[in-house]
Amino acid sequence: MPYGSIDGVRSAPTILHLDMDAFYAAAEQAAKPSLRGKPVVVGGIGTRGVVATASYEARRFGVHSAMPVAQARRLCPNAAYLMPRFALYRSVSEQVMELLGRLSPLVEPLSLDEAFVDLEAGGVADDSVSARRAGERLRVDIRAVTGLTGSVGLAGSKMLAKIASEQAKPDGLVLIEPGTERELLGPMPVRILPGVGPATGEHLRRAGMTTVADLAEAGEDELVRLLGKAHGVSLYQMALGHDDRPVVAERDAKSVSVEDTFEVDLHDRVRVRNEVVRLSDRCVQRLRAAGRSGRTVVLKVRRYDFSTLTRSETLRGPTDDPTVVREAAGRLLESVDTTGGVRLLGVGVTGLADFTQEDLFAQAAGERAEAAEEAEDSEAGEAGKAGGAGGGGEPVAPVPEPPPERRWLAGQDVRHSVYGAGWVQGSGVGRVTVRFEEPTSPPGRVRTFKVDDPDLVPSDPLPLVRAAGDQVGSSPASRPKSPSEAAASEEAASGEAISSP
């Protein structure tokens, strides 16, 4: 047993959990001076979008994550509604993770804005005083480097560190002294425990358990009976404040998937097939970019009534061949009834193996032969019907991308040859409204252009913080661009069609 660990909790609060405050919205406010102190909602842009992050100003109106944007607009019509800009969030995230890496080799990112750090393993803390010092300094560094605030939780276990950071929000630090966890947890609602969501919470409530103390009192057997083996056992341990899960630095992804919700339900079967082909290709692109291959292809279909089903097929060996994935997904689609309309389609690959540059042609040919054989074996009469993407032996025709329609999206960075850097505030009826300001400028003015004004081009995010000493700033957004770099990235950005189903 590692020293200092009793009962599934360390004797010193040396596990740190960092959670950036309203991350996406805060990054947008940092990038757009006119939005500071104002309600900002980042989320899906279409009519079926949901809120990814609401700024604290917007939360006062009742807006929160996962809420349909349509509902958020009713609650808070005056907020700025912006599309997410993951390139920006990723570059800020890299800066933050770099700071965490200075504290310890054991950093476990949970998402772009959240991570666990094992301070003891990094040798920067071995008791409450040193842990608090490290946490406070981290918060100062994060603000200096990114211009954003993060909240820090410190405790003897992951679970408690996470609960602590939640309590610290926004812009705070909470340290839970080992030994105090049970009295602290006892009165809290069961929903604060990781793994207790709406369904489990309701289940427990019907059984008369609303607080963590209720769970500890119920006992392990009762929880297992109620929730099943794995869930029951782990929940009981959590309720006692026991959690000895280690901080794990890097974990390989176990699946890769892409999905699209359509603005309007799809009814045309040919269109559905084409979308499955496009999703297959996107999925394979991501798979290849990760240097992986996978053995099981999964098709996901959400129907008009929100009922969701998945179909999967396991191949003989791992693949990263777009044709193989297209054809498998196509076959799976043939087994799904889509009458009534399709709201969402998804294609994923699981059973990932490290990529090996094997004989992909042989692989593809083998799978095709197999498929053809199956088609012949089962229903000879069906063969004629299975045209298009899901068909048997014929090669799959490439599906053309939709025309490169130029849509100006709210929040998007742009540059005007006369007025300089700005962002799209809105567009419609052939016009686009741009506010000209930058992260380090005062709030700027608005101007309106025709949507096809040649002087207006998309551009990349600018650094949120003026590069000072620039020891940390090695990521794209934190580094000033040379004019040539800027021009090159502008071109790249405008060449990329905005994907909208």
Q: Does 286 bind DNA (CB under 7 A)?
A: yes
Is position 495 an interface residue for DNA (rule: CB under 7 A)? Answer: no
CB 157 within 8 A of CB 9: yes
Residue 114: active-site member: yes
Does residue 3 belong to the site contacting DNA (CB under 7 A)? no
| Full strand arrangement of the beta sheet holding 51-54 | 51-54, 40-43, 80-82
Buried b (16+ CB within 10 A) or exposed e, 414-424: bbbeebebbbb
- Assess 274 for contact with DNA (CB under 7 A): no
> Max Cα separation, the chain?
76
Closest listed residue to residue 243, CA positions, set 286, 194, 290, 281 = 194
Site string for DNA, 250-269 (x = CB under 7 A): ---xxxxxxxxx--------
Nearest residue to 435 via CA among 450, 426, 422: 422
Question: What would the x/- binding string for DNA be over residues 76 to 105, using CB under 7 A?
Answer: ------------------------------
Instruction: Between 162 and 435, name the residue whose CB sits nearer to DNA.
Output: 162
Residue closer to DNA, measured from CB, 165 or 459 = 165
**Taking CB under 7 A as the rule, does residue 497 contact DNA?**
no
Tell me the closest approach of the beta carbon of residue 499 to DNA, in angstroms. 9
CA atoms within 13 A on the CB side of 127: 1
Tell me how far, at minimum, the Cβ of 130 lies from DNA, in Å: 26
Q: Does 380 bind DNA (CB under 7 A)?
A: no
| Contact call for residue 348 and DNA (CB under 7 A) | yes
Instruction: State residue 265 phi and psi, 5-degree precision.
Output: -55, 140
Instruction: For 163-198, give the DSSP string.
Output: HHHHHH-SS-EEE--TT-HHHHHTTSBGGGSTT--H
The interface mask with DNA, positions 294-313, x = CB under 7 A, is -xx--------xx-xxxxxx
Catalytic residue, candidates 28, 108, 114, 181? 114
**Chain centre to alpha carbon of residue 43:** 12
- Does position 377 interact with DNA (CB under 7 A)? The reply is no
CB distance 25 to 42 below 8 Å: yes
How remote is the C-alpha of 472 from its chain's centroid?
24
Kindly tell me which residue out of 4, 8, 44, 172 binds DNA, with binding defined by CB under 7 A: 44
Distance of CA 273 to the CA centre of its chain: 27
Tell the smallest beta-carbon distance from residue 66 to DNA (Å). 4
Residue 66 in the binding site for DNA (CB under 7 A): yes
d(CA 401, CA 346): 17
In this complex, which beta carbon is closest to DNA, that of residue 149 or of residue 261?
Answer: 261
Q: How many CB atoms are closer than 10 A to CB 325?
A: 25
Q: Which residues are catalytic?
A: 114
Residues that bind DNA (CB under 7 A): 44, 47-50, 52, 65-66, 68, 70-71, 74, 110-111, 113-114, 162, 194-201, 228-231, 253-261, 286, 295-296, 305-306, 308-314, 335, 343-344, 346, 348, 350-351, 501
